[in-house]
C-alpha cells in the first residue's frame, strides 16, 4: 500500500495535535487548581479545597491506563484512525463541559460529581490518544518513524508551554476576582476549541497501511495476545518508558517546588530556568529521531540513556552550587534528556509487532507514566523530608535512566514496513 506525501504530512500533524492537547490540559488544570477548588468544593479551608481539586486531577490521571487498554483493544481490531477521532471527540466534549459547567454554588454536589465524571472521561480518552498517535504516524511514515515520533513529542511539550502562556496571560490581564469567576474557564474553552478542530480535521486521516495489511488477521483480544507472545517486550517497554516518566516530572513539573521549597531559590529565576529547560528539552527531539532514521534506533538510544544516567547526579550537584548555576545546569541536563527521551517513544513502537503495537505501546506508556511519573516526585519529597538528602531527585533520575539503558540494550528492534 503506497502512502502519499500528503497523507504522511496529515498523519504527522493531526496525530500530534492530541498529544499537545494532553499536556495543555495537564498544565491548565494544575495551574488553576485553586480556582477550581473554590468553584466546585464547599469547604472553607483552602488546603482542603486544593487537596480535593488535585484528588480529582489524580483520578483523571489514573484512568489513563484503563483508557489505553480500552482504546488500543479496538485500535488493534478496527483501526487507528477511528480511535483517534473518538478520543479527541471525548476530550473536546469533556473539556467544553468543564469550561461552561456551573459550580457548587449553583448545582451543589451534582457539579462536583459531574466534574469527577468529566475528568474520568478525559483520562480515558487521553490514555488512548498518545499511544494511538505514536502507532499511526510511525506506521504511516516507517522510513522516518524516528522523526515522526520526535516531532510528536516536541508538540506534546509545546502544549505544556502553550498552557503556561495561556495561564500567564489570563492572570496578568484579569483581576483575581475575574480569574476565579470566569478566567480559569477560558483556558478550558481554548482547549475545547482545539479539540473540536482536531476532530473535524482528523476525518481526513488515512488508515495506517501496516494495519490495513493485517486487519483481516486481527486478534479477538489483542491484550491477551500481547501477554502471550510479547511478555519480554512488555517488561523492557516499561523500563524504557520509565526514563521519560521520571525525567518529565523531576526536571520540569516538580522542579519549581523542589528548588523554591527545599533550596530556597528565587522563584523568578527558577521559572526562567525551567522555561528554558522545557524549550531545550523539546526542540531537539525531531533531530534525535531523524538521527535514528539514518543510523538505527538502538545505538543512539543506548548512548543517550547512558549519558543521562551518568549526568543526572552531577547536574543536581551543579544546581546546588547556587541559583546562579541553575540556568547552565538546566541547559545541559535538558539537552541530554531531549536525546535520551526523544528516542524512547520510537523505540517503544519498534519493539512491538503490528498486530499488538497499539496495545503494547498503550500499556507500557500509560502504566509507566501513571506509576513512575506519579510516584517519583512523592518519593523524592519523602526522602528529603525524612533524611534531608536534597540530591534525592538526581539519584532517582539516574536510577530510571540506568534501568532504561539496560532495557534498551536487551531490546529487539523490529524492521519498519515500508508505507
- Give the burial class of 177: count Cβ atoms within 10 A of its Cβ; 0-12 exposed, 13-18 middle, 19 or more buried: exposed
What element of type H or E holds 289?
helix 285-295
Could you read off the pLDDT of 216-273 as tens digits, one per residue? Answer: 677 888 999 999 999 999 999 999 999 999 999 899 878 888 898 889 999 889 888 9
- What is d(CA 282, CA 183) in angstroms, rounded to the nearest whole number? 28
Q: Which three cell numbers stand for residue 387?
A: 533524611
Q: Are 110 and 333 in contact (CB under 8 A)?
A: no
Q: How far apart are CA 95 and CA 25, in angstroms?
A: 8
Is residue 32 a contact partner of residue 167, using CB atoms and an 8 Å limit? yes
pLDDT at 226: 94
Answer whether residue 372 shows pLDDT above 80.
yes
What does the DSSP 8-state code read for residue 369?
Answer: I
**Residue with more model confidence, 202 or 121:** 121
Distance of CA 270 to the CA centre of its chain: 22
User: Cβ distance 213 to 22 under 8 Å?
Assistant: no
Q: Are 347 and 297 in contact (CB under 8 A)?
A: yes
- What gap in Å lies between CA 301 and CA 210, rounded to an integer? 24
- Give the model's confidence band at 387: pLDDT under 50 very low, under 70 low, under 90 confident, else very high: very high
- What is the rounded CA–CA span in Å between residue 332 and residue 315? 8
HSE, side-chain direction, 13 A CA sphere, residue 157? 30
Let me know if the fold of 1-218 is the same as that of 222-412: yes
Burial of 42 (0-12, 13-18, 19+ CB in 10 A): middle
Domain locations along the chain: 1-218, 222-412
The CA distance from 360 to 33, in Å, is 33
Please tell me the distance from the alpha carbon of residue 135 to that of residue 145, in angstroms, as a whole number.
Answer: 10
Q: Which three cell numbers stand for residue 226?
A: 500481547
**DSSP secondary-structure letter at 418?**
P
**Cβ neighbours of residue 320 closer than 8 Å, sequence gap 6 or more:** 263, 390, 391
Smallest Cα–Cα separation from 5: which of 131, 141, 153?
141
**Residue 178 banded pLDDT, cuts 50, 70, 90:** very high
| Greatest Cα-to-Cα distance within the chain, rounded to the nearest angstrom | 62
pLDDT single digits (tens) 95-131: 899 999 999 889 988 998 999 999 899 889 988 888 9
Statement: the pTM of the whole predicted model exceeds 0.85: yes
Tell me if 155 sits within 8 A of 22, measured CB to CB. Answer: no
More confident residue, 307 or 385: 307
Exposure of 101 in the CB half-sphere (CA atoms within 13 A): 25
Q: Tell me the pLDDT band of 1, cut-offs 50, 70 and 90.
A: low
How far apart, in whole angstroms, are the C-alpha atoms of residue 103 and residue 111? 6
CATH for 1-218, among 1.20.1250.20, 3.30.70.2860, 3.30.450.20, 3.40.640.10? Answer: 1.20.1250.20
Please give the CATH superfamily to which domain 222-412 belongs.
Answer: MFS general substrate transporter like domains (1.20.1250.20)
- Render pLDDT for 322-370 as a digit per residue (tens, 0 to 9): 999 999 999 999 999 999 999 999 999 999 998 899 999 999 999 998 8
Helix (H) / strand (E) containing 164: helix 145-173
- Treating both helix axes as pointing N-terminal to C-terminal, what angle do 80-100 and 5-31 enclose, rounded to 10 degrees? 30
Q: What is the pLDDT of residue 419?
A: 42
> Kind and range of the H or E element at 187?
helix 184-201
| CA atoms of 309 and 158, how far apart (whole Å) | 25
Evaluate whether 32 touches 184 at the Cβ level (below 8 Å).
yes
CB neighbour burial string for 70-81, b if at least 16 within 10 angstroms, e if fewer: bbbbbbbbebbb
- Cα–Cα distance measured from residue 242 to residue 236, given in angstroms and rounded to the nearest whole number: 10
* C-alpha neighbours within 13 Å on the C-beta side of residue 192: 14
pLDDT in tens, 143-154: 899 999 999 999
Amino acid at each position: 500500500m503506497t502512502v502519499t506525501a500528503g497523507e504522511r504530512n496529515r498523519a504527522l500533524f493531526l496525530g500530534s495535535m492530541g498529544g499537545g492537547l494532553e499536556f495543555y490540559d495537564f498544565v491548565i488544570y494544575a495551574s488553576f487548581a485553586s480556582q477550581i477548588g473554590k468553584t466546585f468544593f464547599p469547604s472553607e479551608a483552602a488546603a482542603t479545597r486544593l487537596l480535593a481539586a488535585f484528588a480529582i486531577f489524580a483520578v483523571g490521571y489514573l484512568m489513563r491506563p484503563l483508557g489505553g487498554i480500552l482504546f488500543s483493544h479496538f485500535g488493534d481490531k478496527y483501526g487507528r484512525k477511528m480511535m483517534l477521532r473518538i478520543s479527541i471527540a471525548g476530550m473536546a466534549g469533556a473539556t467544553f463541559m468543564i469550561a461552561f459547567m456551573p459550580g457548587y454554588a449553583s448545582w451543589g454536589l451534582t457539579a462536583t460529581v459531574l466534574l469527577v465524571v468529566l475528568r474520568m472521561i478525559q483520562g480515558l480518552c487521553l490514555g488512548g490518544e498518545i499511544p494511538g498517535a505514536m502507532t499511526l504516524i510511525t506506521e504511516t511514515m516507517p522510513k522516518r518513524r524516528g522523526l515522526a515520533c520526535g516531532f510528536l513529542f516536541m508538540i506534546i511539550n509545546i502544549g505544556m508551554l502553550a498552557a503556561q502562556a495561556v495561564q500567564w496571560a489570563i492572570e496578568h490581564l484579569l483581576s483575581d476576582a475575574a480569574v476565579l469567576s470566569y478566567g480559569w474557564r477560558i483556558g478550558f474553552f481554548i482547549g475545547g476549541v482545539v479539540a473540536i478542530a482536531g476532530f473535524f480535521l482528523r476525518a481526513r486521516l488515512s488508515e495506517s497501511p501496516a494495519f490495513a495489511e493485517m486487519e483481516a488477521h486481527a486478534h479477538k483480544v489483542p491484550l491477551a495476545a500481547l501477554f502471550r507472545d510479547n511478555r519480554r517486550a512488555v517488561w523492557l517497554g516499561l523500563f524504557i518508558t520509565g526514563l521519560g516518566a521520571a525525567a518529565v516530572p523531576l526536571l520540569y513539573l516538580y522542579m519549581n517546588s523542589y528548588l523554591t521549597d527545599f533550596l530556597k531559590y528565587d522563584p523568578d529565576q527558577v521559572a526562567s530556568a525551567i522555561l528554558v529547560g522545557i524549550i531545550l528539552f523539546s526542540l531537539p527531539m525531531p533531530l534525535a529521531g531523524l538521527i535514528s532514521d539514518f543510523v538505527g534506533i538502538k545505538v543512539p538510544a543506548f548512548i543517550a540513556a547512558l549519558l543521562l544516567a551518568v549526568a543526572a547526579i552531577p547536574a543536581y550537584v551543579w544546581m546546588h552550587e547556587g541559583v546562579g548555576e541553575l540556568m547552565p545546569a538546566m541547559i545541559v541536563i535538558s539537552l541530554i534528556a531531549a536525546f535520551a527521551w526523544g528516542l524512547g517513544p520510537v523505540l517503544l513502537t519498534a519493539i512491538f509487532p503490528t498486530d499488538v503495537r497499539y496495545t503494547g505501546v498503550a500499556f507500557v506508556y500509560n502504566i509507566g507514566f501513571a506509576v513512575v511519573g506519579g510516584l517519583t516526585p512523592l518519593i523524592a519529597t519523602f526522602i528529603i523530608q525524612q533524611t534531608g538528602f536534597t540530591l534525592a531527585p538526581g539519584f532517582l533520575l539516574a536510577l530510571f535512566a540506568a534501568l532504561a539503558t539496560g532495557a534498551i540494550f536487551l531490546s529487539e528492534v523490529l524492521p519498519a514496513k515500508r508505507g
